[in-house]
Each structure stands twice: as C-alpha cells, then as structure tokens.
Structure 1
C-alpha cells in the first residue's frame, strides 16, 4: 500500500459486521462492502497508475467502483453527468493521489483537481475532535457522491467506522433509526424541512455551499429545536477554512472561527491566502504543493 493511501481492508478488520452503508432499508456491513470491492477489482487490475473516469451511478455501484479503483492502484476521476469530456494529459500526478475531481466552475472555468488521503484524514480527525462525530451512529448526506461534500461525507463516515446514509429522496428521513449527523446545503434543507421529522431529527446539521439567513435559522430551529446547526466555509480545494454554530443566530459579515491549523494571510489588493493541512494537492498539470 502506498504512503497515505486509503485502506478499506484495515477498516473492515476493525468494523467487520457493523453497517458501513445503508441505502433505503438495505444495509451492507464493512465485510460485505469489502467482498464486493474484491470482486470488482478484476475490472481494474489490468492497469495501474491509470485515471479512470467515474460518473454518478447508484450509490452502491459508485462506492464499490470508487474504492476498487483506489485499491487497484489506479486513480478515480469523479465527475457528474454535465462534465464535458476533453483530451486531458494526466501528467505530474503525485504518487499519493487518492482521486481526481472536477470543480463546479462557479468561480471560473471548471478545472480538474486532485487530492491525497492525508489531507482528508486529518480533517476528519479534527471534525471528530471539534464536533464529537464518534458519538453518532451514522453520517448522512443529501449531496450526490460526485460532489465534494457528498464524497467527503462518505469517506469521513467510513474512516470513523460509522454507517454512511445516502439520502437520494427526502422521504428516506422518516425511516432513519440511527443517531446521525447530516451534511447538506441550505437550499436542500429549507426545501425539505418538513421531511425532517422531530423523531428522526439529526443531532447536528453541517451546512456547506451557502449560508442561512436569520429568518431561515429561526425556521429551522422551530422545526428541529434539538438539532445543532453548523455552517462551514471552504471549497472543493480547501475543505475546511472556518465554521460557526448558528442556532442562536450569527455575527453579521462573519464566517466564524478558523479550523485548527488554518492560517489566513491578507496580501496586496486584499488577496486572501489560505495555508492549512486540509488543502488539495493541486490542479491537473499545475502542481500546488501542500502547505
């Protein structure tokens, strides 16, 4: 196993019969997921150090393919259906790369970035320390697995030995029996708030990809009075920069407090530079060293 690469077999040895994945009412243990990965390995064992495009499929198929590609020594390129295939030269990919993905392009032209395992692993550990994720049985997300938030939630759940809940339909919330935390975006939360019944309400809701207005915060509080709400700020490339608890409102024009080990520098023309262990490894063929 190469340095810093994610190793699902080690997790299987630790959490063998614990549910690793739950889709609707069907659960798959860590051992069952590992068995499916081993069967799938034959599809990718013919090559090594190859970038294999992975487009959104059913959550189960996506997860098995993603983990099998990594275990085979190849690199998954995670894209959604809107991704326009071009002729990319996959050069200068560091040995410890975990996967490649396409940015959304909301702040410029879409680019392909890559990330190593260590940058996510340390972020998972910090989140667990700050928010006690280990106290919950499951981590859920409403974001597709082709998004950074969706994929991040999956890998965090597996690394912490939790059950990953793939929410593909709001009606699934009523059937959640586990204590869980939810990673979602404000738009989804507000549009589907009525589906988050009090009896199955998450212990914490982490919100990325946008912010809640004071009015929206009050609306969520009335519906989910026992749920803690955390807004966190970052992007596919930076992961975590800062966060704030918003149950009691939030400071105007504030993005809360920095995550541990994050340093911000304000340079000429208000250019903001982020230095942290959670940063991505670089853009395709434009290496950006980890800080």
Structure 2
C-alpha cells in the first residue's frame, strides 16, 4: 500500500488541471478524459459557449495553481448564485456513489444514459466519470437518443425531453438542480418514466434523494441541522477549491455550503441559502418557499424570487416568472394573483412581477444572479398581477 501511494505521488509530480475542449464524439471525449486521469492530471471540461473573459479567468486559475496529490476531477460550480468556482474532488468521492446511482436509475453498463446538460456541467461530468467506471454509456448532444433508457439532468431538461417525445426505452430519470414539482413527476409517470429527484451541490455531490415521498438522506450520507443550517457527513464531499474559495465550510468530518433546511420525520426540507433571505419590514422571507408556491400555479414553468431594496421597509419581494407557451397572459396573471392572496402571508407576497425566459446555467438551472440583474436593470417585461 505504501509503495502504491509513493508511485502515485511520483506520477503526480507536476500534475495540473487541464481544460478539456469538447470536440468530436462522445467516445473521443471519454478517451481524452481517461488518458488525462491515467497520466495523473485533473480534467476540467470546458464549454465553447463561455465568454472569452470567463475562459481566460478559468484558464488563469487552472494554470496558476497546482492541485493536491489526491485530486482527480475538477468541476465548475453552476454560477447560479455568482461567479463560478473550480471545485476539486478525489476519484473516490464520486466512485463511492456509483452503485447507489446505478440502483436509482436501474441502469448498468449495458444501458445508455441521456445527458441533456453539456459536459462542463458537474452532473454530466459525474455521469462521464461513472461511464469510465463501468456505468451506463453516455448519450450527449445530438447523438441518437432512441437508445437511452435513463436520463440524468435538471427538471427543465426532463420537461424538454417530454415535450419532444421521450425515447421509447426511457424508463427512469435522475433529476437534480432544483425541485421536481408534482405535475412534472406525474407527467413523466404517464410517459412510463420513473422520476427520482435529488438534492446535491458541486462541493457535496449527492446529499438527499426523493423517490416520491420527500427528500431523505442519500445512501451513505448523514444529515444534521445546526442553527437552521444543513451539515453533511459523507464520503462524497469535495476536497475544496482550486484558487479562490467558496461557501464550503468544514467541521471535522462534517461540511456545509450554507443551505438552510429543516428535518421533519426524517425528510429534508430546503429553505435556500442564508444570504438569499429577504428582509422586508419585520419579516424574513425565504425565497424558496415563495418560489414553491409560484411554480405550482398552472402555466408557470419556473420562478426566481428576490428582494428589491426599498427605503424604510428594507426590501420589496419581487418575482421573475417564466410562463409556458400556452398559459401566459391574463389567465396566468389571474392565477398568480389568486395564489399570492390565498397561499402567501402578506409579507411574502411579491409586490413587483417580471415575466420572460429565465436565464439558465449550463446545466439548465435558473441563473439566479443573472435573473435578478436583468430584472433590476429593466431588461425584462414587468407583469401586472
């Protein structure tokens, strides 16, 4: 064992994080990732849609800092709450969950997993690592989707697949990134697709899983609530960051990224990040709670709730909603008004409404920071509710 560690350290001398361009077919990408791993380098998959300034910033971090000896993979945080960061993790921090993920998707090496998000997304890179470790074969981009038996993506991605007509053999979907609403789960079930939702983070990997009766601890994970903040102990936690740090904090074997939550009868209820809370007059509003109400309104695809600074009261609650193509207009406004009046306390009701297509991260999650910027800058339409 000591000799193996010494050989690994020797191979790792001068190791670097390498940005991998996405060119050619999936097999070629897997071969490049496998070769970099075999050489002891740390792959970080790029995205051709990155602005040049973003690409230069990532390259400066990747080229200017040597990763620790046990780093095997590098991913970017989604950027849903601000600037992306490079997260480093060991090979084992992902491979330890492969068996559980395979069971949840009922998929093995003879199956194919549809990956709607680009390879730069953490969830897709996980599935590529899983494929290298004997998991289902990845189906990326414009590849033939008809052979896919499972999907790993966001609720938005699952909805798009259902809209387009799911592959005939699709039987399971592992869905993360944001909450899976009951309507989407029921629609998937009608199409013969079993949905397994999960909560995770780039720094924590899988944390909790929802097979239809609420979020419970993912196999091998322990959960604890400390002063309203979720802490996790598991073998899936990342090493930390390459370059500038982020929200990951540790206390021995436990770690947190600052998500607020509560545990009720063994089920996890997420309440958003502490720094997302809106202080309005004497009330503290958790955006996640208001967003859940708005997403349940017919015709609303998604919603982002945030605060608009206001003298005397602190902030006004505002909502940026994305409406579907068939339920917009007066009907949606009437339904939103009714939901606000009947399901939200007065302090929680949005006072400003915006409507449009929500900006999204590479994986398909709402890009909160950019959505808020656009609304505050007047770049999206006001909605009269």
TM-score higher than 0.5 here? yes
Please provide the CA RMSD for this pair: 3.1
Match of 1:72 in 2: 39
**Size of the alignment, in residue pairs?**
234
Gaps of 5+ in 2: 254-385
Match of 1:261 in 2: 220
Which structure is larger by alpha-carbon Rg, 1 or 2?
Answer: 2
Question: Which gives a bigger RCO, structure 1 or 2 (Cα 8 Å, sep 6+)?
Answer: 1
Tell me the alpha carbon deviations over residues 32-52 of structure 1, each in whole angstroms, 9 at most, x when there is no partner.
Answer: xxxxxxxxxxxxx9x941222
Is 1:85 aligned to residue 56 of structure 2?
yes
Contact between 1:2 and 1:96, CA under 8 Å: does it hold in 2? no
Secondary structure of 1:241's match?
A: strand
In the TM superposition, 1:137-156 aligns within 5 A as 137-156=111-130
Gaps of 5+ in 1: 6-44
Change (3 A) 1:220 1:129: closer
Which residue of 239, 242, 247 maps to 1:284? 242
Tell me the alpha carbon deviations over residues 222-275 of structure 1, each in whole angstroms, 9 at most, x when there is no partner.
Answer: 2x1x321100110221111111113xxx5xxx4x1101221222223x222111
Match of 2:203 in 1: 237
Tell me the alpha carbon deviations over residues 78-107 of structure 1, each in whole angstroms, 9 at most, x when there is no partner.
Answer: 33242332333314x221211222212212
Of 81-90 and 115-124, more deviation after overlay is shown by: 81-90
**TM-score, normalising length from structure 1?**
0.69
Cα offset, 1:135, TM superposition: 8.3
Contact between 1:70 and 1:76, CA under 8 Å: does it hold in 2? yes
Secondary structure of 2:187's match?
A: helix
Match of 1:102 in 2: 76
Contact between 1:282 and 1:288, CA under 8 Å: does it hold in 2? no
Is 1:185 aligned to residue 124 of structure 2?
no
Match of 1:25 in 2: none
Secondary structure of 1:191's match?
A: helix
Change (3 A) 1:288 1:78: farther
Contact between 1:138 and 1:157, CA under 8 Å: does it hold in 2? no
More strand by share: 2
Cα offset, 1:136, TM superposition: 5.6
Cα distance in 1 for partners of 2:106, 2:127 equals 15
Cα offset, 1:73, TM superposition: 2.2
Which residue of 186, 189, 192 maps to 1:218? 186
